[in-house]
Amino acid sequence: MAPGNVRFAALGCLRAQRGDQALDLGPARQQALLGALLCQLNQPATPEALLAGVWGDDPPPTGVKVLPTYVYRLHRLLGPPDVSGVRIEGVRGGYVLHADDGTVDAVRFERLVRDGQQARRNGQPDRAHQLLRDALALWDGEPYCGLPGPLLEAQRRRLTEYWLTAMEERIELDLAAGDARATLPELRVLCADHPGRERFTGLLMTALYRCGRQAEALDVYARARQQVVEQLGVEPGLELRTVHEAVLRGADDTLGAPVVGRRPVGCTLPRGVDLLGRDEELAAVLGALRPAPAAAGARVCVVDGMPGVGKTALAVRAARLLADGYRTARCTATCGPARPRPPRWTSPTHSACCCAGSASPAGAGARAARWRSGVGGKRLLVVLDDVAGSQQVEALLPGSAGCGVLVTSRRRLTVSRPDVVVPLRPLPAGPARDLLAGLVGDARAADEPFTVDTLARACGGLPAALGYLAARLVHRPQWPLQEMARRLAGGGRVVLDELYADDGALAGAFAVSYAQLADADRATFRALGRLPAEVIDVRWAAVATGRPLTPVAASMERLLDANLVESTGTNRYRMHPLVHAHAAGVRD
């Protein structure tokens, strides 16, 4: 396809583009007529069929005589056929739009889905998975959204059915490749959005069963069955009942066993890490950032929490699951403490979007403006990691509708319009233990199960602490786990001093948060190290600092906003044991 040829996007709001120029497609009826011709690409459509398909039961008084005017306008809009590669031709009995199949995303989408299904039937699961991913990456929301007429309404239903089927088959391939845990958040969203789609329910039950959560899988069936019986008065379909019976029996032969191996998946996002015990938070992020092309601007989700709680891991996992819906680009920036220099982009997308061919303008404001200008009109998923303040987010918000922005911060931000805020807390005991066991090796953990529990408790459920601890144990395979438990027995600063690796230490993460505090808040933080970690009354903090109650109360609230303390009631707080250990060791 020549660079100047017109390309059409029908998956989402109808759009046309010649080179880098977006075309104004005019009023809704004119767009609907163009959509009707695209639906029958390279095939003639009679005037009567076009009139009925676009106007339905409310045709204009002039009937089919209105069509030549709209066709003439589309001719002028699209440009000469030798340049645009598109020609609308009047033929005997109607009109036909001539163009290469590859110019219309909906046509490519259908072809990729069909090819993926055929590859699967031919016993080529890796090729099938890639083709289905490529198809789903084209999906930009409801096809021909907002355009009138029964013909496009029928196309919306047909293409949406293709999308749902492609999602089902791609997730089945994920499960076959052993990715059960990664599919759970996405399946929960799909089941909530399409409760009558029993295949999604069956896939969710299978994924839960594969993760060793048989009781949850049975609960999913019970709730789905209750809904069907109450609304329709019938039992679930045979396929879902078969899955239910297989879960009851623990029948791996019916539910399928995971296969060894993993496909390489192309993506500009960083590699993900282990993520356990975050199903609810992950579902919240996915629900907030599911592509919504009709949105007025970028959708923003903020994940905040104390240092080391796993914000980046959650963001990367969510971004990978969302990537199919953002077909233009996915990129990540590490922002860090507020400073005049721009964020550090950890993918090439920033350069591709807005810096190619020219030097970056001087000044943070100019660079931010350059960024927003460069990504204008692009459907983008942006991850802003470790944001220090709301001004960093506001400066980098893309203005295009349908964009998604996922922000992580160690602070509770006051971004002007976040769609969802997801607070992240330390892991409960069970997931913390499972995470540590997976990191040090399940076989090694199985030899000393009670010691694994002890080590996980010493880390206070903090994923970064568990990661540092596991890194030390992996490089000391001759050590029994009990040896590390002995070294951590003193608690407090003793534990904190053991949590390090070649790329840093947990205390360093706490130190970054401490460095961002005002002087008065640093003094309060240090004073808290002399108080019990579990119960901190603001009056005790005032006594410990030797300052009046009112400014200390304000200081405690700022520490709360910095996620260095947690509120347990009015004027009452507590500190994570490892943060408390750091506070006790900080010197003025």
CA angle 28, 31, 35 (to 5 degrees): 135
Whether the model clears a pTM of 0.95, i.e. scores above it, the answer is: no
Match 């890490």 to its residue by tokens: 273
Q: Kindly state the tokens that stand for 236.
A: 């679930």
Spans of the chain, pLDDT less than 70: 1-4, 251-275, 292-297, 324-325, 327-378, 399-400, 415-417, 502-503
Strands 329-336 and 299-304 turn out to be unpaired
DSSP 237: P
Closest to 30 measured CA to CA, from 61, 87, 75, 63: 75
DSSP 239-254: HHHHHHHHHHHT-HHH
Q: How far apart are CA 502 and CA 517, in angstroms?
A: 27
Q: How far apart are CA 464 and CA 309, in angstroms?
A: 6
Cα dist. 100→1, 9, 81, 85 in Å?
8, 14, 12, 8
C-alpha count within 13 angstroms, C-beta hemisphere, residue 263? 20
User: From the CB of residue 429, how many other CB atoms can be counted at a distance below 10 Å?
Assistant: 13
Q: How far apart are CA 403 and CA 295, in angstroms?
A: 9
Closest to 576 measured CA to CA, from 564, 587, 586: 564
In the chain, count H helices and then E strands: 28, 16
**Residue 31's pLDDT is what?**
94
C-alpha count within 13 angstroms, C-beta hemisphere, residue 446? 3
Q: How far apart are CA 99 and CA 96, in angstroms?
A: 10
Q: How far apart are CA 273 and CA 313, in angstroms?
A: 6
CA 239, chain centre distance (Å): 30
Q: How far apart are CA 522 and CA 528, in angstroms?
A: 10
| Residues 286, 189 contacting (CB under 8 angstroms) | yes
| Residues 526, 517 contacting (CB under 8 angstroms) | no
| Residues 331, 382 contacting (CB under 8 angstroms) | yes
Q: Kindly state the tokens that stand for 70.
A: 């709209």
Per the DSSP assignment, residues forming a β-bridge with 521 are none
Q: Coil, strand, or helix at residue 36?
A: helix
**Residue 499's pLDDT is what?**
87
| Residues 149, 56 contacting (CB under 8 angstroms) | yes
**What are the phi and psi torsion angles at 310 (to 5°)?**
105, 30
Q: Coil, strand, or helix at residue 212?
A: coil
Three-state SS string across 56-67, please?
A: CCCCCCCHHHHH
| Residues 330, 268 contacting (CB under 8 angstroms) | yes
Q: Could you read off the pLDDT of 264-300 as tens digits, one per residue?
A: 333 444 444 556 788 889 889 988 887 765 555 678 8
Is residue 369 within a helix (H) or strand (E), and if so which, with residue range? helix 364-374
C-alpha count within 13 angstroms, C-beta hemisphere, residue 35? 33
Closest to 147 measured CA to CA, from 99, 192, 106: 106
Q: Which amino acid is at 60?
A: P
**Residue 213's pLDDT is what?**
86
| Residues 127, 115 contacting (CB under 8 angstroms) | no
**Based on C-alpha coordinates, what's the Rg of the chain?**
28
Torsion angle defined by CA atoms of residues 217, 218, 222 and 227, in that order, rounded to the nearest 10 degrees: 20
Q: How far apart are CA 506 and CA 272, in angstroms?
A: 20
Question: Which residues 6+ apart lie within 8 Å of 532 measured at CB?
Answer: none
What is the longest distance spanned by two Cα atoms in the chain? 93
Q: How far apart are CA 403 and CA 387, in angstroms?
A: 19
Q: Could you read off the pLDDT of 161-213 as tens digits, one per residue?
A: 999 999 999 999 999 888 888 899 899 999 999 998 999 999 999 999 888 88
**Per-residue exposure over 450-475, b if at least 16 CB sit within 10 Å of its own CB, e if not:** ebbbbbbebbbbbbbbbbbbbbbbee
**Residue 356's pLDDT is what?**
32
Cα dist. 10→17, 59, 138, 155 in Å?
12, 24, 10, 10
Match 């996007």 to its residue by tokens: 9
Q: How far apart are CA 108 and CA 120, in angstroms?
A: 18
Q: How far apart are CA 305 and CA 563, in angstroms?
A: 6
Cα dist. 493→498, 532, 534 in Å?
9, 14, 16
Match 């990129």 to its residue by tokens: 331
DSSP 261-297: -------SSPPP----S-HHHHHHHHHHHS--TTSSS
**Residue 246's pLDDT is what?**
87
